[in-house]
Amino acid sequence: MPANSDSIRYHAPYMEWAKTREAAELDLAGSNILACSIDDLPGAPAAMDLAGANDNGYRPLVEAIGARYGVNPDLVTTAGGTSGANFLVLAALLEPGDDVLVERPGYDALLGAARLFGARTIRFDRAFDAGFALDPDRVRRAMTPRTKVIVITSPHNPTGVIADPAALDDCAAAGSSRRPLCRTACDARATWSTARGRSSPSAWRRSPFSISTL
């Protein structure tokens, strides 16, 4: 079946392009990091034991992530990359007929994942003339009685703008005041590579109704 067939229900055009485009000599389009082996990391072979149970995530890894971010390891779930983590979050929270708010411009894989679970996606703008800042008032205006998840990226994908912590708090408060409860999911995959030394605020640290994927 051709990738651009109208019969594909949850087509993500950017992801199709990213996975099928010709390789470039100088590639500035990817969000991946360069591959390396364990031997390339000083001290890693002696520090790692790759044997063990993996029922709910490899426990030493889960505990290391919890220690790194100061969170109970029982609240940590590992996934195949941040896109895989976003998929798990939406799978856990959504039911057919729910509404999901997704920013515009945005990462089209987030739209496809939400629609896969039978949710309707509603866009809210991160406006060019406002420097693509996260605007809680736009989020509130986009909410419906069936809004279950507000999806935010920080740094914003694709502009790299970091969400103001107060704006994240405001969005979480807007969602948590609704019944049924609405949660805020913050994709912070680029946290370690933010420009000018600024770090992206961890949404989960700021509200019990927020979830961060890294």
Q: Is 117 part of any domain?
A: yes
Residue 49 lies in a domain: no
Q: 5 pLDDT exceeds 70?
A: no
Q: What are phi and psi of 120, to 5 degrees?
A: -100, 135
Does the residue 180 lie in any domain? yes
Nearest-5° Cα angle at 151, 90 to 12: 70
| pLDDT band at residue 147 using 50, 70 and 90 as cut-offs | very high
**pLDDT grade for 44, boundaries at 50, 70 and 90:** confident
Give the count of domains, the chain: 1
Is 80 exceeded by the pLDDT of residue 1? no
Q: pLDDT by residue (tens digit) across 66-91?
A: 898 888 899 888 988 888 889 999 99
Domain containing 86: what range?
Answer: 80-213
Q: What percent of the chain has pLDDT over 70?
A: 82
Q: Is residue 60 part of a domain?
A: no
In a domain, 4, yes or no: no
pLDDT tier, 176 (very low <50, low <70, confident <90, very high otherwise): confident
Quick check: 201 and 154 in contact, CB under 8 A?
yes
Q: What's the mean pLDDT in 138-160?
A: 92
Q: Domain containing 107 — which CATH number?
A: 3.40.640.10
Residues pairing with 103 in the sheet:
124
**Any domain includes 198:** yes
- Per-residue model confidence (pLDDT) at position 196: 41
Structural domain contains residue 57 = no
Q: How far apart are CA 116 and CA 212, in angstroms?
A: 21
Residue 47, in any domain of the structure: no
The whole-number average pLDDT for the span 132-150 is 94
